[in-house]
Structure 1
């Protein structure tokens, strides 16, 4: 017996309340052309939204046909996607605009340029029939060892983050696309990725980085996403997603947010391992969430969450008034954003690369007198495997260097070598007689990168160092691993680009 058949008619809810409960769900699914029958039944009963991932994307034309198909089933169905830019997104196969990550935009600190990048992303979404974007990130990168925010944040200063959030939200709104500031009340003060475990931020209320979220609310952001983070000084027992004190008292009363509060994905281990996705859905809605996301393509998980919510409504454990309130907000969001605009105006295809070029930083003098010093280089690009929930993957520095200097050689290394010393010896032999470039991505978080880099520098002290995450010593820094970031770094390394674009860290 399937979940759709679980509820006996005698115990069924009124049709309008059943639809109301379904409005509070956002589901992931498998497929690029055919909509699964289970998803069709959920949509028929009022499903509030779907979230697309790389698994749903083959090319731009296919995505537009898919969104048309979904909306033909229910015109008020919200179709959303994570679309932060800078390598955090799922539309590379659909010709997504190349824009750098948020940190690079914050380094440039030109809100007008940030708006142009956000406009390009939102215009592309609108052209594909996607009208909800789970971006921008409002977190402040506070902890140096934070494993999940980093270059996804606009920076380390709440005021800088706030002004770039405003620019992003306003540009996205102008395209008729719903933006979503995340992850309330902040994920930048943790040492744990909530995808993998419970994350904790021990700071008291008056030390939290709430200014960006206040700025987002003031800018009219229609959605906020909650963090699966425990704030013991606010609620010692539950993460923000499940906390009535945080979602109710702090978000609704203190910040005055009246839009849709959506949970981060319930299958993340901070929720799934301790509560289970189904109980997480019920508790989140009771605490004040308006929609809960089940991003995994296994629709049985979505059905279990749905059944838990319906069961709690029948028993009175979940008050009808709370779900009616939540669904009302979702309906208003859908009235405003579910239907794509007509013809989509063109966006600036060069905004992202301009921003990435302006963001590159390095030692004073490098990129000026040093232009062209690494032509024909052997490039060693060290980086962790793409995060399965975030990255489209596939970008590497060698490919971008070779695009501007076909004589370059090299390799990408995405994990710890069995014998780093032997690997370093082999690279040194292959690179003999050529400039050597050693690129790392957040090496402080990944000891294998530090060890291999040290081995290479012992053999080649003349190697040029590059950081493709946050700054790392004296390395040339791109502040991100999006294609635009890597292309900009490649131009500087090879001397192909705008002379004088690279400045010292303080510039």
Structure 2
């Protein structure tokens, strides 16, 4: 085949099947995306930008499938504060860490069932969840309460429950981010993450993925993380050693291996999205995700893959293999269920209540002045920025307070003002991962120096507070408010 020759129709379609594209729009499909779908695009990924309400989402997914019935329509749907379907009436469930703290596999299954049932009503049949990473590095900035916990056995049993419940709804689940993102100090959205641990220490992180494979998970997502003990040259997404030797052969996974988004800086800054697509497929990925709505980026990735096929840099056999797995996935999951049964609407709050931990809190703190400190929402994860004060006032209308979402110019002056506003009322100070955001610790300590009787609350991982919710989803906030007020 000469470099300028067009690819055979079947191979061109197979190569397009290895792509998952993001796009802009809530009611119409952009023309470039239509052309990609016509040539065999394997899937699309929806974000908040594609969501207005539930009825609109279902019309959009029906429109997409009218263009190609075997198109996989996917979304990130982890629960807790991570999700894009709030305006589409998404069920409220806590994040995975709270489910691990509650440690009731049946309750986890009920929460996963609610999420999957809701997706099915919207015509979304693939969920890039659950997180199978273990959260064990105290300064990890990206996994944290998205994980079920730090223990492999605990994560494994909740992964099995989640995957089985999602499967019963006819929705594809996806364990991520292989072989684990929980041992890094860098968020791969922002730069190359490295896990320097030796192989013997890494083995524990493989076990939740092994459990997911044994549970029949149909998809696994790779991590943009370098593991020197596994492959000192390339991140997992681009590593044949990790995707092939470890995942395919040692863990015996034969489902669809999908990359994390290629525009993340761990890939884009060092390799570029287009080269990342080509290398990932050559290394063993079956689909590569380009989540940004700029379809020119997707087209550049597509062109790099087609060019590599023409040049012989990317083996045709590798693309046929990947496309075959994608076709099998689509055959099982592309079409949404004709009818969707209801789900347990109370499971999420029940789990969040079970997860709250208390230490030394009075029986009821009423009429408190709450200072809620938390970072700005992560732009990729689209956490909604739920605040604790709203939940607290729902159960205690006498409560007052303020939310602080960024570093103040003068923490000491702000602390003085907030204490004056509190007056004689009880003071509660909530932080979210203050160890990662030192401004929170400075403001919290300035408040406590003035009011040592203040109740400390942790809304992320525990940091010495009297209460901890293990997450900032809406039901986490509600459960915290109930625990504080004794409701």
- 2:341 maps to 1:345: yes
Q: Contact conserved, 2:3 with 2:310, CA < 8 A, in 1?
A: no
Selected match of 1:371 from 363, 387, 390: 363
Q: How does 1:252-271 map to 2 (within 5 A)?
A: 252-271=248-267
Selected match of 1:198 from 189, 192, 205: 192
Secondary structure of the 1:192 match is: coil
Q: Within 1, Cα distance between the matches of 2:424 and 2:59?
A: 52
Selected match of 2:104 from 107, 110, 119: 110
- 2:174 maps to 1:180: yes
> In structure 1, what is the equivalent of residue 284 of structure 2?
288
Alignment coverage as a number of residue pairs:
484
Q: Contact conserved, 1:222 with 1:260, CA < 8 A, in 2?
A: yes
> In structure 2, what is the equivalent of residue 503 of structure 1?
none
Q: Within 2, Cα distance between the matches of 1:342 and 1:403?
A: 38
Q: Within 2, Cα distance between the matches of 1:302 and 1:474?
A: 45
Selected match of 1:306 from 296, 302, 306: 302
> In structure 1, what is the equivalent of residue 215 of structure 2?
219
1:448-476 deviation digits (Å, cap 9, x = unpaired):
00000001111111111110000011331
Q: Which moved more, 1:196-205 or 1:311-320?
A: 196-205
Q: Within 1, Cα distance between the matches of 2:375 and 2:466?
A: 18
Q: How does 1:458-473 map to 2 (within 5 A)?
A: 458-473=449-464
Secondary structure of the 2:372 match is: strand
> In structure 1, what is the equivalent of residue 9 of structure 2?
15
Q: Which moved more, 1:461-470 or 1:198-207?
A: 198-207
Q: Contact conserved, 1:92 with 1:392, CA < 8 A, in 2?
A: no
Selected match of 2:79 from 59, 78, 85: 85
Secondary structure of the 1:479 match is: coil
- TM-score calculated relative to the size of structure 1: 0.94
Q: How does 1:65-144 map to 2 (within 5 A)?
A: 65-144=59-138
> Post-superposition shift, 1:15?
1.1
Q: Contact conserved, 2:175 with 2:212, CA < 8 A, in 1?
A: yes
Q: Within 2, Cα distance between the matches of 1:470 and 1:134?
A: 23
> Post-superposition shift, 1:9?
11
> In structure 1, what is the equivalent of residue 413 of structure 2?
422
- 2:394 maps to 1:403: yes
RMSD: 1.1
Unpaired runs of 5+ in structure 2? Answer: none
Secondary structure of the 2:393 match is: helix
Q: Contact conserved, 2:458 with 2:465, CA < 8 A, in 1?
A: no
> Post-superposition shift, 1:392?
3.4
Q: Contact conserved, 1:91 with 1:392, CA < 8 A, in 2?
A: no
Q: Within 1, Cα distance between the matches of 2:60 and 2:451?
A: 52
> Post-superposition shift, 1:371?
2.9
Q: Within 2, Cα distance between the matches of 1:458 and 1:173?
A: 52
Shift of the 9–129 alpha-carbon distance from structure 1 to 2, 3 Å rule, reads farther
- TM-score calculated relative to the size of structure 2: 0.98
Q: Within 2, Cα distance between the matches of 1:494 and 1:202?
A: 44
1:262-308 deviation digits (Å, cap 9, x = unpaired):
00000000000000000000000000000000000111100000000
Secondary structure of the 1:317 match is: coil
> Post-superposition shift, 1:203?
2.0
> In structure 2, what is the equivalent of residue 157 of structure 1?
151
> Post-superposition shift, 1:10?
5.7
Q: Contact conserved, 2:47 with 2:84, CA < 8 A, in 1?
A: yes
Q: Within 1, Cα distance between the matches of 2:63 and 2:402?
A: 42
